[in-house]
Structure 1
């Protein structure tokens, strides 16, 4: 394993950790909002699985405008238009702060001088809220770089966004290669895509398990 210390030499590169944000470091859950809007749990879960679901939301992470997405979905489901409109109008109510387990890993790596980056599927229209709001802003400022899917108009697990991340990392570490990168994400398909490109990757379902895997690779966590 290469040194974890920062280096400017073009012939070497440190081990670098790339974090996903939502579900790893930041707590985001549409249920936090829709508990206020749909009292019945079964009805609420049906709505979030069939109307404002992950497949719809991720299209905005890929660059589709929130207004276009809301209008198109409301046209298909006019009986749910008010609830659909609330998804982005009250989007900030889906944020629950930072996740203690993931942050403990982040802070251990940061304290050891491991270079840290973020690669997130996130709408370009909603991400500025995180960039400018406590407690997210102080965390984001501690990364060497944050790549946002909505700004790139590419989403995980598209191989191109991982390559874009590596290109950005090479601005700081010109010798960086896939084998220098460790990726932590809570979505299995995103992890598999990183592995297919030669990255080491962890499917983050439990902070203790993630920390153990990092220690197996010689990193403090």
Structure 2
């Protein structure tokens, strides 16, 4: 079936986000930074904010659990914009070339409170014309198939006419099970080449 729709995850695909961009300078001690990110402010905690828990609730929850790290925990979302280092130019360039040739959509695990900053500060998001499903708004999170269904139903899409692009293997697996063509982004991935391999010319 002919591909009509291309769906982008954002973090790791078109946006370069990593808490280390802030905490490397904050701690000035890589060992302490890694301990904090692997044992205190872990990915599973941050994901709950992407699922819809407020930043305030998430922060207070973690402080209650790790009171000795209160200052560092409060610094996390106070300095979130520093963690959003930049776009990923090579993939944004491909995205821009696709504009007008395919229907473009976003499906992202992102906090409802922090996503507006990215929208306002990176103009390439305009190519999506607001057709973006944000986990924090939906209170659903990838790889849950339900959030994929929200996208399909809201925009009247068929999975088999769509390519889903993400850097997370679990999200890719769910998309494949639902019938999407998929591209798993890794640091070495040439997105343009992967799309052309699927017969998508732009």
TM tier relative to shorter chain: over 0.9
Contact 1:131 1:140 survives alignment (8 Å): yes
Structure 1 or 2, whichever has the larger Rg, is 1
Contact 1:108 1:220 survives alignment (8 Å): no
Task: Give ranges in structure 1 of 5+ residues lacking alignment.
Answer: 3-13, 171-175
Q: Does 1:139 align with 2:124?
A: yes
**Alignment size in residue pairs:** 201
Matches within 5 A, 1:1-150: 1-2=1-2, 15-110=4-99, 113-132=101-120, 134=121, 136=122, 138-144=123-129, 145-150=131-136
Partner secondary structure for residue 156 of structure 1 = coil
Q: Deviations over 1:37-88 (max 9, x none)?
A: 1111121112111111211100000001111110110111111110000111
CA distance in 1, matches of 2:75, 2:99: 37
Deviation at 1:208, TM superposition (A): 4.1
Partner secondary structure for residue 142 of structure 1 = helix
Corresponding residue for residue 186 of structure 2: 205
Q: CA RMSD in A?
A: 1.5
CA distance in 2, matches of 1:74, 1:157: 28
Say which is worse superposed, 211-220 or 159-168, in terms of deviation: 211-220
Task: Give the structure-2-normalised TM-score.
Answer: 0.94
1:115–1:26 distance in 2 versus 1, CA, 3 Å = same
TM superposition outliers: structure 1 runs of 4+ over 6 Å: none
Task: Give the structure-1-normalised TM-score.
Answer: 0.86
Deviation at 1:212, TM superposition (A): 2.1
1:45–1:220 distance in 2 versus 1, CA, 3 Å = farther
Partner secondary structure for residue 57 of structure 1 = helix
Task: Give ranges in structure 2 of 5+ residues lacking alignment.
Answer: none
